[in-house]
Structure formats: C-alpha cells, structure tokens
Amino acid sequence: MAESQENIGDKNFEIVEKAKKAFKDGNFQTAIDLFKQSIEICESQNWIDGVRYAKGMIEDALEMIRIQKEEEKFLEHEKEQEQQEQEILNKDFESEQITNEQQKKIEEQKKIEEQKEIEKQKKIEEQKEIEKQKKIEEQKKKVKQKRFDEEKRKEEQKKIEEQKKIEEQKKIEEQKEIEKQKKIEEQKEIEKQKKIEEQKEIEKQKKIEEQKEIKKETRVENEKSIKIYVQKGSGRLQCPVCDNNKRNMIREVIDKSHIIMDYPLIYGKKYICGKCGAQWRREE
C-alpha cells in the first residue's frame, strides 16, 4: 500500500531535521546517512530541491569530515612534534641534569679524593714523624741501655776484682795459716824427734852402760868359770869335748880374754861348739 504524499513529506522533514541536528552537533557521518535517506525519498517523489539540498549538505558534511580529519591529523602531528620536542627537551634537560649532577658528583668525588689524598699524605707524614720519633727514642734507649750495660759491666768487673782480691787475700791468709800450722807441726815434729832422739840416746847410753856392765860381768864370769880348751896343731877344726867337726856347727868369736897384741889392740879367736857348748882356741 502506497503511503500518502503528505506522510512521506513529514517523514522526509523529520529525517532532514535529524540530519541537520547531527551536522550541527558535529556528527557528520550520521548526518550523511540521514541525508542519503532523504535523497532516496526526494528522488522517489521528484523533489529536485530536496535532492539538491541533501546532496549539498552531504558534500558539506564530507568536507567537514575531511577538514576534521586533516585537523585531527595536524593536531596529531603537532602533538607528536610537541611530544618529540618535549622528549628532546626532557632528554636534554635530563642529560644536562645528569651531566650537571655527574659533574657535581665527579667534582665532589674529586674533592673527596683530594681530601683523602691530603689526609693520606698527612697520615703518612704523621706516621713518618712517629716512626722518626720512635727511632730516635729507640736510639736514645739503646744508648742509655748501652751506658747502663757498660756501667753494670764495670761494676760487675769491679765486684769480680774485689772478690778476687778478697779471695787472694783469703788464700794468702790461709796459706800463711797453713804454713804457720806446718811450722808448728814441724816444730812439734822436730821437738818430738829431738825428744825421741834424746830418749834413744838415753836408752842407747843406758843399754851401752848395761852392755858394758854385762860384758864386764860376763868377762869376769868367763874368766872365772868357763873352761877354754886348747886344740893343738893345724888339722881340721874339731870340738875337743864331743869331736864335732862340722864347720857349720862351730861358731868363731873374738876372745877378749886372750889379748894377742896391746897396740894396736888385737884379740885372739876362740870357737864355740854348736853341739855341746864347749869353748876352745887353737895353738900351733
């Protein structure tokens, strides 16, 4: 069923109004679609002005879209450029910042290093000074020690010498004492010997006296009681009593009772028999 021309006109009006609103709001593609619907309606109804209007509006909308796109593109491009520039700036800034910071850091580091070096040198100098002082102190100590040692050594030497002297003195005194004792002993010994000698001499004299006495007595006795036999001739020596003629059994003694010569004094000989005790002398 075909619609009435009036309803179609209202519909077209409605569509065109919508399209115009969309255009006004900037919704150009929506506007284009709506104007295309309007062109269809107007062509079917041979509404030439309507077609021309809608086509014009579509061209305008397309132009607007193109402009919009270009603008968008331009804006985008500008934005990109701006971004790039910003980035570059940022980068530069950063790098500058970095460089500045780095420079700062480097300088600080350098200062720190310098300070460290100065302190190190200072410490080294101090250490050197300390070592020097130490060495000087050690040297002083050594010299002192040496002096002390020498002093000590001298004192010890002195002591040793004194000790030696004392010991020598002691030895001398001991030696003296020993010699004294020795002399005393010797003296004692001499006196003892002297006494012994004297005693001996006394005893000897006594014995001699006694002997003399005995001899005297014996001689008197002999002269008085012992008979002396006589062996005549120059034959073998023989006891005139027991005829013993063994030479080892006959003892030869001096006969003091028989004086042969007065000056020089010479006594005769007599024989004593070992077997019977008889005494005899020989006569030629």
**Shortest CB 277 distance to Zn ion, Å:** 7
CB of 3 within 8 A of CB of 33?
A: no
DSSP lists the bridge partners of residue 281 as 230
Q: What is d(CA 262, CA 267) in angstroms, rounded to the nearest whole number?
A: 9
Tell me how long the chain is: 284
CB of 226 within 8 A of CB of 248?
A: no
* Chain residues that interact with Zn ion, rule: CB under 5 A: 239, 241-242, 244, 273, 275-276, 278
Tokens of 175: 């030696």
**Shortest CB 197 distance to Zn ion, Å:** 45
From residue 65, give the alpha-carbon distance in Å to each of 4, 51, 80, 183, 186: 36, 21, 21, 164, 167
Question: Nearer Cβ to Zn ion, position 222 or 244?
Answer: 244
Question: Nearer Cβ to Zn ion, position 45 or 238?
Answer: 238
Question: Nearer Cβ to Zn ion, position 238 or 257?
Answer: 238
**Shortest CB 219 distance to Zn ion, Å:** 23
**Shortest CB 256 distance to Zn ion, Å:** 22
Question: Nearer Cβ to Zn ion, position 64 or 272?
Answer: 272
**Shortest CB 234 distance to Zn ion, Å:** 20
Question: Nearer Cβ to Zn ion, position 233 or 264?
Answer: 233
Running DSSP on this structure, what letter comes out for residue 264?
T
